[in-house]
A and B are shown apart, each in its own frame.
Chain A
Amino acid sequence: MENLQLVLPEIFLSLSIMFLLIFGVFKKNSSRLVQSLSLAVLIVTAVITFNETIGINETKLFNNSIIIDYLSSLMRIITLLAAFLVLIVSSNYLKTFQIFKIEYPILILSSVLGMMIMINSNDLIVFYMGLELQSLALYVLATFNRDEIKSSEAGLKYFVLSALSSGLLLYGCSLIYGFTGSTNFDVIASQLNSDVYALTFGIVFVLVGLAFKISAVPFHMWAPDVYEGSPTSVTLFFTMVPKIAALTVFIRFLYVPFLNLIDQWQTILIFLSIASMLFGAIAAIGQTNLKRLVAYSSIGHVGYALAGVTAGTNDGIQSSIIYIIIYVLMNLGLFSCLLMLKRNNQYYEKIEDLSGLSKNHPMLAISLLIILFSLAGIPPLAGFFAKFYVFKAVIEQSMYFLAIVGLLSTVVAAFYYLRLIKIMYFDKEKEKYDTDHGFWLKFSLTASTLLILIYFIFPSQLIEVVSRINII
């Protein structure tokens, strides 16, 4: 076990979770301390991941059931950083609802642990374990505001539907195991026989489970309700972090064991991608609640990220990872804005609450303007480049239909982003919102806006970071 230091991040994180849990239980009123410690844990884990695993060659541990390569290291670091950002912006919100408890950061840490295991997995069982760990933590997080009926409803809904999809996924795993004789990705790859249709069924079932986790159409139904009902800070977590992990698994699952069956799954993925892009764009138009709107918009964005995966090339994978990174950044900014719409200890989340924001809060409005145009994919903002790379990868594979449908749905999507801008800039102003936001909230909004805005000056850096991903 000379390679144990490669899983040091996971070991450290699990020990920290246990320690924090015990610490939080025995020391009264320690939520603030636990929060700070959790932040430190996340950072330390990210640093360990960076030190121990970036730059090493592909290594497999524990009977080849865990894989450490550049993809997994990078995605783990991104997951950790995203979770860190979610934690730092959520404290004010939680305090307002008096749910600033020790469980919140600990649950987030546990789900992050689950995601890290998912990202590392090279085996169906390990992957499933990670998935369930993160899901269980997420169910509780969704109901975290337990006095609120909508929050409980969201949690229950998420639990029931997620359990169903986990069942499907597990069934798919068992089919794959049955026809290849192993749960290990490498063994599966060597045992592939494309004539066996049941194997294709297995892939489809697993894909359904995964599509559910990243809320791709037609497995998206839970997303709007859960996003709306959960506390906003948890919604932020939902829209960002699990998607990073699930996308990685998507890539790993399709490209390691089943690359030779690309003809079989590519069509399914193209369908998922097109359906998500179109549905996300069209369904968002009628929304009046900002969180529901974000839910639909995130469905659309998942479609674009999947479009990169369909390409079947390293370029495609890299482009969808760039997409998800930029998407995380934009979402962080968007939710920072949502978390600032607060007046007299009440948060506002209707679209018309944005009305005339540009007069009362010009800086907030201009940040939101930049973020929304970026989400719509208008150059020269970061969101444009995200789409640009994805479609470049797609067109290189001559998938023009996907590219054209995708780009046309950006036009439809532009409509509802513009509607928000219209409400902010063209409509009459309402009462002012509070301006005493925490430092971290302001920081995350400013930082994400600036990064989105000046991304076009340094586009190469991000490409350089992901260009080392090479799993085919």
Chain B
Amino acid sequence: MNFPILSSLILLPSIGALFLFFTRGNKKNNFTTKYVALFTSAVNFFLSIYLWILFDPSTSNFQFVEERIWIEDFINYKVGVDGISILFILLTTFITPLCIISVNNSIKERLSEFLIAVLIMESFMIGVFCSLDLVIFYLFFEAGLIPMFLIIGIWGGARRVYSAFKFFLYTLLGSVLMLVAIITIYWLNGTTDVVELYNSGIDIKYQNLLWLAFFSSFAVKTPMWPVHTWLPDAHVEAPTAGSVLLAAILLKMAGYGFIRFSLGLFPTASEIFTPLIYTLSVIAIIFTSFIALMQEDMKKLIAYSSVAHMGYVTLGIFTIQQQGIEGSIIQMISHGLVSAALFLCVGVVYDRMHSRLINTYGGIVSIIPKYSILFMLFTLAALGLPGTSGFVGEFLILMGAFKDNFLVAVIASIGVIIGAAYMLWLYKRVVFGKLVNTNLRQMFDLNRSELFILSCLAVPTLFFGFYPDPLINTIEVSISDLINQYNFKLASQI
């Protein structure tokens, strides 16, 4: 395989962004600008589909590996995918074009700059998921802050400055410790190449501290309770497309990081800190679900539900069971689709009524039926109804959890009920009930592009709900190998 498909995936959006940068400035160009961006990201999507087709799921080795000397005797630019990362790349390339289509309604000014930011973001995120070197990973991981900061800050709502700063500083604070850990790993092992580190293992004396340093970064990014507070702010203030990117892809970087680095590099420490993760995850599931129940702002409610869902993800990852980790990945993919869709749904009514408060709405089912149907589908997917992808993920996670720790699993299962409660209550208050606010009558139903985006998200949500095999086949071998490695290292105390 000579064609550098992964580098192309990383570079293509940036090239598109560069193109937009040089052609921008002409206000009449908005239309073409959007199509250039859409074209770039669509090509990227098809390229990633092609990658999936070529991908060989029967091995856990990294595939499509490219390695180039970057800094002599120090860091190599190395990218590659295995079963764990490929789905995240697909998710990224799938969500980005939808984001770009959705800007029609929400972004009124500085469109080309917005699209540049989105495309650069896509580059960075794909880079995060396929880098096989810790420094390269950190580079992409941190670089994503810049476009996201601008997206929230320039195109956000009323408290956008506060939210953008909070987002930036929180995540930066978390990440700098990871940088210390990465340099320490280089110092200990003389390499930052992930594959080599997998083979050689990391000195057991340092694992706990290193694990904590990585954890500080991933916990903020996930976000886990109690460092989740930036998320609701960022979501509420970000424009719809920004929220979608944030929820669908950015949060997944941390989950991916947990699997790839925390489990892969520090098995002993992971074993030690599993109770910590369990506790925080369970608190996140129960506590933030209750908070979500009380929200009056739809976006905030969904943001808190994201925290709860990510709680399941971290729980599943640290069960170190085949089902648990598989469930976590599927849950992340599913949450990527569903939360993106929910934020878009909120965006749809927000564009029409300019309010995100739940009590503005009520009884809109008769006015905008198409919207109500799709919104219902995603609500049900979010609460994990069988037949939707949300169910597969949650079910597998809980199955894994029951194998590992009964009590935690029981509490987490209770969270499912609260989850159902706040989602259904949200839906009931927004869509059903009496039509009190007469302004709502002026609302028009989904237009073509909105319908297209939401259907695009609905199809995989349902498809993978009924038939998750393609996902599971892709990740199965990689995960079982990861767990074997994990147990082997644990047993031999590396």
A326 to chain B, nearest CB (A): 14
Majority secondary structure, A binding face: helix
Contact bitstring B160-191, A, C-beta under 8 A = 1, else 0 = 11001100110011001101100110110000
- B142 A426 Cβ-Cβ under 8 A: no
Closest residue on chain A to residue B209 by CB atoms: A400
> Is A350 interfacial (CB-CB < 8 Å)?
no
- B70 A414 Cβ-Cβ under 8 A: no
- B187 A395 Cβ-Cβ under 8 A: yes
Q: Which of A411, A425, A463 contacts B154 (CB 8 A)?
A: A425
Report the bound CA distance from A84 to B179 in whole Å.
Answer: 36
Q: Which of B72, B145, B153, B169 contacts A422 (CB 8 A)?
A: B153
A378-B142, A380-B139 given; A411·B180 CB < 8 A: no
A159 to chain B, nearest CB (A): 40
Closest residue on chain A to residue B139 by CB atoms: A379
A392-B183, A395-B183, A459-B70 given; A425·B139 CB < 8 A: no
CB within 8 Å of A: which B131-174 residues: 135, 138-140, 142-143, 145-146, 149-150, 153-154, 160-161, 164-165, 168-169, 172-173
Q: Which 5 pairs across A and B sit closest by C-beta, in order of nearness?
A: A407-B176, A379-B139, A395-B183, A379-B142, A411-B173
> Is A408 interfacial (CB-CB < 8 Å)?
yes
A residues in contact with B150, CB < 8 Å? 425
Interface residue range, chain A: 20 to 34
What is the interface of chain B, defined by CB distance below 8 A to chain A? 25, 69-72, 74, 135, 138-140, 142-143, 145-146, 149-150, 153-154, 160-161, 164-165, 168-169, 172-173, 176-177, 179-180, 183-184, 186-187
Report the bound CA distance from A426 to B163 in whole Å.
Answer: 12
A residues in contact with B160, CB < 8 Å? 426
- Most chain B CB within 10 A, of A373, A408, A415, A426, is at A426
- B161 A463 Cβ-Cβ under 8 A: no
B residues in contact with A384, CB < 8 Å? 139, 142
B415 to chain A, nearest CB (A): 33
- B169 A415 Cβ-Cβ under 8 A: yes
Contact bitstring A366-391, B, C-beta under 8 A = 1, else 0 = 00000001000011100010001001
B residues in contact with A391, CB < 8 Å? 179-180, 183
- A407 B146 Cβ-Cβ under 8 A: no
A residues in contact with B176, CB < 8 Å? 407-408, 410-411
> Is A464 interfacial (CB-CB < 8 Å)?
yes
B298 to chain A, nearest CB (A): 24
A391-B179, A407-B176, A425-B150 given; A456·B139 CB < 8 A: yes
- A392 B186 Cβ-Cβ under 8 A: yes
B44 to chain A, nearest CB (A): 19
A420 to chain B, nearest CB (A): 12
- B72 A463 Cβ-Cβ under 8 A: yes
What is the interface of chain A, defined by CB distance below 8 A to chain B? 358, 362, 373, 378-380, 384, 388, 391-392, 395-396, 400, 403-404, 407-408, 410-411, 414-415, 418, 421-422, 425-426, 456, 459-460, 463-464
A residues in contact with B172, CB < 8 Å? 378, 410-411, 414
Q: Which of B71, B145, B161, B183 contacts A426 (CB 8 A)?
A: B161
- Most chain A CB within 10 A, of B71, B153, B160, is at B71
A379-B143, A411-B173, A464-B72 given; A422·B165 CB < 8 A: yes
A residues in contact with B71, CB < 8 Å? 459-460, 463
B207 to chain A, nearest CB (A): 16
B residues in contact with A378, CB < 8 Å? 142-143, 145-146, 172
A residues in contact with B153, CB < 8 Å? 421-422, 425-426
B180 to chain A, nearest CB (A): 5
B residues in contact with A410, CB < 8 Å? 172, 176
Report the bound CA distance from A122 to B334 in whole Å.
Answer: 67
- A460 B70 Cβ-Cβ under 8 A: yes
B residues in contact with A425, CB < 8 Å? 150, 153-154
B residues in contact with A373, CB < 8 Å? 146
- A380 B143 Cβ-Cβ under 8 A: yes
B residues in contact with A459, CB < 8 Å? 70-71
Report the bound CA distance from A43 to B110 in whole Å.
Answer: 43
A414-B169, A414-B172 given; A426·B72 CB < 8 A: no
A23 to chain B, nearest CB (A): 46
Closest residue on chain B to residue A395 by CB atoms: B183
- Most chain A CB within 10 A, of B135, B139, B176, is at B176
- B180 A404 Cβ-Cβ under 8 A: yes
A residues in contact with B140, CB < 8 Å? 379
A308 to chain B, nearest CB (A): 13
- A418 B168 Cβ-Cβ under 8 A: yes
A426-B160, A426-B161 given; A395·B143 CB < 8 A: no
A residues in contact with B169, CB < 8 Å? 411, 414-415, 418
A358-B154, A384-B139, A418-B149 known; 12 new pairs, CB 8 Å cut-off, are A378-B145, A379-B143, A384-B142, A388-B183, A392-B186, A395-B180, A400-B184, A407-B176, A415-B165, A415-B169, A418-B165, A463-B74
B residues in contact with A380, CB < 8 Å? 139, 143
A379-B138, A410-B176, A460-B72 given; A396·B187 CB < 8 A: yes
A residues in contact with B25, CB < 8 Å? 362
B110 to chain A, nearest CB (A): 8
B residues in contact with A358, CB < 8 Å? 154
B residues in contact with A463, CB < 8 Å? 71-72, 74
Report the bound CA distance from A410 to B169 in whole Å.
Answer: 10
Report the bound CA distance from A7 to B135 in whole Å.
Answer: 43
Report the bound CA distance from A380 to B138 in whole Å.
Answer: 9
A243 to chain B, nearest CB (A): 25
A residues in contact with B138, CB < 8 Å? 379
A residues in contact with B69, CB < 8 Å? 460
B residues in contact with A464, CB < 8 Å? 72
A residues in contact with B173, CB < 8 Å? 408, 411
- Most chain A CB within 10 A, of B70, B140, B172, B173, is at B172
Report the bound CA distance from A162 to B143 in whole Å.
Answer: 41
A310 to chain B, nearest CB (A): 16
- B180 A400 Cβ-Cβ under 8 A: yes
B111 to chain A, nearest CB (A): 13
Report the bound CA distance from A425 to B117 in whole Å.
Answer: 14
Closest residue on chain A to residue B174 by CB atoms: A411
- B161 A422 Cβ-Cβ under 8 A: yes
Report the bound CA distance from A396 to B169 in whole Å.
Answer: 27
Closest residue on chain B to residue A425 by CB atoms: B154
Report the bound CA distance from A373 to B142 in whole Å.
Answer: 11
- Most chain A CB within 10 A, of B69, B139, B186, is at B139
Residue contacts A-B, CB under 8 angstroms, 27 given: A358-B154, A373-B146, A378-B142, A378-B143, A379-B138, A379-B139, A379-B142, A380-B139, A391-B179, A392-B183, A395-B183, A403-B183, A407-B177, A408-B176, A410-B172, A411-B169, A411-B172, A414-B168, A415-B165, A418-B149, A418-B168, A418-B169, A425-B153, A425-B154, A426-B164, A460-B71, A463-B71
B203 to chain A, nearest CB (A): 14
- A426 B180 Cβ-Cβ under 8 A: no
B residues in contact with A418, CB < 8 Å? 149, 164-165, 168-169
Closest residue on chain A to residue B74 by CB atoms: A463
B165 to chain A, nearest CB (A): 6
Closest residue on chain A to residue B141 by CB atoms: A379
B27 to chain A, nearest CB (A): 13
Closest residue on chain A to residue B153 by CB atoms: A426
B224 to chain A, nearest CB (A): 19
- Most chain B CB within 10 A, of A378, A379, A459, A464, is at A379
- A388 B142 Cβ-Cβ under 8 A: no
- A407 B179 Cβ-Cβ under 8 A: yes
B residues in contact with A396, CB < 8 Å? 187
Report the bound CA distance from A460 to B71 in whole Å.
Answer: 5
Closest residue on chain A to residue B172 by CB atoms: A411
B residues in contact with A362, CB < 8 Å? 25
Report the bound CA distance from A396 to B145 in whole Å.
Answer: 28
Q: Which of A379, A407, A421, A460 contacts B180 (CB 8 A)?
A: A407
Report the bound CA distance from A426 to B154 in whole Å.
Answer: 5
